Structure 1
Amino acid sequence: MPPILLKEAKLDQSMYRVQGSPGQGNWADVPWVAVFNKQKNVEATKGYYIVFVFRSDFKGFYISLNQGCTYFHEKYKEKLGNEKLGIVSNKVRELLHTIPKEQGLINIDLVSQGRLAKGYMKGHICGTYYDQDNLPDSKKIIEDLEELLITYEELLVIMNGRTLEQFNDYLLLNDDQYYLEDESSEEKFQETLLEIEKKNQNVPNYIEENPELRPPALVDKGGSEKWPRDSKKASRALRNNNFKCSFDDSHSTFISKKSGKFYVEAHHFIPMAQQKSYKYNLDRVANIFALCPNCHRMVHHGRDNDKVIVLRKLYKDRIHKLESLGLGITFTDLCKAYGISKGGNDLL
């Protein structure tokens, strides 16, 4: 079948590679023939590609825009990895605008519980089914392939030069309970860490001893590097501060319906936007303060002289711990990170 595809579909062999397997041993319980983009170094176990995959009972086959499962199994282990694979399939499907009208099939059934078959079924994004008893002619199948190649190329454009890991990490960001430091993510970030607290109320306080190297950046759809916040760490920070405002523990608030504790919000003291300037990870519990909603809004939106009063108190309380984690900063530079142009000392 691979030579036929190359010939009939007139595939550009400088761009595409066709590979197939009739089934070998236990790992290939469903035969397949796939079209890979050479320029993206895609292979059957890793990346996005188009595959003709046969049911294990040979009663039919699918053409499917699909993806390899190795990345997911290596990062999450097999069971959870398959769940994440399905989540990414759904997210990619929502991003695409060129899915052919006749190839909007959401689920495929390969009549097998083999590892390879499960990966194909979870990794399926879009495509169509050909029944053995009602097969179209080869011209129609080639036309379907040509249409799906357009969708495949759109997906590669959406990736915008990002590696597979960078693209998938971005898609799974919130599902993995990580959030960017921006207004659109803030409410969900605060909600998520309270939900985590409700599940982990008997976990002891979290203590950090040593610096932690800066993790790889997340690359957004525009190609910018950003470092997200781990809501699990933020939840620990609130617990460490006994759900009281770090600036003034007498500040009144209310009982959260989700956590059953006084409602406070997590605030990264040295903003995550500064991460590129640091060798070590800014997303540490020591760099996260619990603030009442009023104080939290004020350090983001208040007057400079009011911000400085809060920042000075928090700085004195935490700077030595931050320095022990490789996160030292002068108070003047901290104020600049908050957009306070004069620096802190001029406003006191």
Structure 2
Amino acid sequence: MALPVELSSIFRNKQKSYKMVLILSMIDEYEASQQASLPLSQVAERFLAYYRNSCSEGEKVDPPPSGVASTWNDFTVSRTKALLKTPIEALSSILEVDHDNQTIAFKQTIIDKLDEQGMGELKSYALTELHQYNNQLTSGFSLKETLTQILKGYIEAKAQPFANHLLGTVFRQTIPEYLKKLPFINENYKIQGSIGQGNWANIPWIAILDKRISETTQHGEYVCYLFAEDMSSVYLTLMQGVTAPVKDHGKKEGYQYLQQKVQQMRELLPLEHLQKDEHIQLTSSGLGRDYQVSTVAYIRYDRDHIPDDDRLIADLENVMHNYKLYAESMGELSTESTPALQEDEEKEPLDPLTVSERIEKVKSYIQQKGFHYPSALIENLYLSFKTKPFVILAGVSGTGKTKLVKLFAEALGAKSFNHQFTLIPVRPDWSDPSDLLGYKDLSGVFRPGRLTEVLVEASKPSNRYKPYFICLDEMNLARVEHYFSDLLSIIETQEWQNDRIVTSTLIDQQSLRPEDQPIYGNLSLPDNVYLVGTVNMDETTHPFSKKVLDRANTIEFNYINLGQYPEDELAADEEASPPAANSFLRSDYLQLADVYRDHRDLIHKTTEKLVKINGILEEIHSHVGFRIRDAICFYMIYNERFELMSEDAAFDLQLLQKILPRVQGSSSSVKRVLLQLMQGALGKSLQIAELMEDASELYSKWNASQTAEAAKHPQSARKIAFMLRRLEEDGFTSYWLS
């Protein structure tokens, strides 16, 4: 038989092992006497005997109450009877005490429901809970001490190297493994912690997720420890994922959605002994504000007043109880009770993976196909797409540029057979946009180009949430400004309209026949299309103008490691991840005003660097404008938001991809500019006057076959060294020379 409902959760709240040992002592006494009313002194003797025997056998158990006795051997039966008042009171719903006769018994309503089998199940239940509880004691882990150490040491740790830091192990392994052993945490729950990915997070966290609701902290509801940015406190919260709602609806409506859901959950759940207000203070800006909006209820623990482990576990069990009630109610909620934003017939599907998890899936897919690319290339490619839907992949022939685009698209579910990946080889004789967009034949019929065909498919309502990739192979065999000019101009007309990114139309409607106008007349560049151009960097190709470079991230990978070999056996295919929704890649920002309030500090820091660089570039009239300033800021913000790499590593790539391609020439001014940029990339002063005569000592350190010296921006430093060498040896230099 199943335990009566009155008994099935009697150990849900526990601060000591006393309740389990009391029930076991009563069952043992009942089995010995077969009497319903049990002498309280006999039960107390069995209770005390359990702790004395356990201690004599070296087992870890709760100590006696402090201030009464140092060991259980010093404890007396009379003291034990006094001690039992607390667990008896906690179990008053099922137990009753006759103080006159000094007996204890299960209430008659419980006895009526318990047969011999039921008594055995109750004993098994108590033993299991007691065993799990004592296992926690054996671990020697203290949640109070660990939380205190984090709050007192995290800010100092942020000044130390991120990789392999001990705190990473504490958040990702130590605390999650401890929490998994708690009796109220079962196989339905996933526990993960984070101090950031590649760089320290301002607000580290530890989340407990019911896998039936959500397996990612980007959306859904979960329990989470959130640490304030200034480490003054840690909050135990019942909260919602913020990333997906804000992406899906935009910040204003996303906040509205979160606030509606908070109100709904507060009305649905008891939330006893929890704060239910908006006074949680994590930070003044950024993701912390999103967390604050999404919190349903919380308990705050101040750094110098963390309660003991018993209180912490009892609080967590209370929050988990509310979380469990919510999960159980999910199937009973009517559509009328869900927030209005969920009632739309057509909404973009939420990605079950976080950005970092999705990127790891992409890397794994590429590796399974037997291909190897430089470290952080996939993160860079992703951030470049997120910043602007136009990317240039540059390098010598045979480095796998086209294959990279195809594999990246395939890993996201965009393949040739479903028409979400299209390869368009560029021909040397292309001289105007008609080769891509299409033309009118002599009879006046519009003949669409390959790119137009893709845009028509991607613009269909049924495809609006699928990413489409167009790869222009060997893009610079023809002059890009001639055949690609219309697309370059259209990219710059992006604007927000009904929470979507739209552009001007590509094809003049007035020039089309009436029957062609419904298909091509309103055709624009939809926000689910991503353009990639592969270019070979040699003397057979055309250079790029600044108009092209301003509108793209130019990713170069010329440093080839021929020592990489195929694996003897490729890793077995993992379980296929669902195709990525377009929200994974689509830009969330178009103007700096979209992000200024939440990322003010990072924008100021990045802009200050660019102001210094512009002062250098002005000497050769290659300084950048607001378009590049904004694009670099967006790249840095996305990187910080998704925690993909360090701030220095991200800026290194932007210096390499947005600044250096603008530098070329044969004058001494170009050399001076390169040396000043090298000074910034190395992060140290150089004797520029001496190096103007001969810079060979400088660039010889960065020969591809040698170990380069340490630098703040090593990839940019390597490229600048190469450009300096070409200038001194050939009398001319350019980013595009291989």
Same fold (TM over 0.5): no
> If you compute each CA radius of gyration, which structure gives the higher value, 1 or 2?
2
**What's the TM-score once normalised by structure 1's chain length?**
0.44
**What's the TM-score once normalised by structure 2's chain length?**
0.22
